[in-house]
Amino acid sequence: MKKTTVINSELSTVIAGMGHMDWLSIGDAGMPVPMGTKKIDLALTKQLPSFIDVLKNILSELEVQKIYLADEIKTQNPKQLTAIKELLPDVEIAFMPHSDLKKNLANTHAFVRTGEMTPFSNIILESGVTF
């Protein structure tokens, strides 16, 4: 049995296959996923698992150099924005309209669906390198 923190087999496989500048997305339960984008559905019920719990888990194994967030998170969910910044204090943040973030999901290796029920709890992670 795998002994590191990401034990979901689909998610672990995606992370292991990521290269420099590849994208992985995590989102709330309502985020629409483009046809053709792999969806790893972790949602069990409302708020379980939370967006932040899933992000923490992924960050334990994925080196991230940049993140992409919706502009709307600044005003519609500032608490979530603060939590994201606390987890990624030295990582560059690029903001874009939510509509553009949704379109960009088509360029990610996978979308990880959480049980999160707060608005604009969506992120694209850009992988970095560990050397």
Binding-site annotation, residues for substrate: 28, 98, 120-122
Instruction: Label residue 82 left, alpha or beta by phi (over 0 means left) and psi (-120 to 50 means alpha).
Output: alpha
d(CA 126, CA 113): 17
Q: Residue for token digits 């993140």?
A: 67
Burial of residue 124, with CB atoms counted within 10 A of its CB: 0-12 exposed, 13-18 middle, 19 or more buried? buried
Q: Which residues are annotated as a binding site?
A: 28, 98, 120-122
Residue 20 bears catalytic tag: yes
| Whole-angstrom distance, CA of residue 44 vs CA of residue 41 | 9
**Catalytic, out of 7, 16, 20, 41:** 20
Burial status of residue 26 (CB atoms within 10 A of its CB: 0-12, 13-18, 19 or more): buried
Catalytic residue annotation: 20
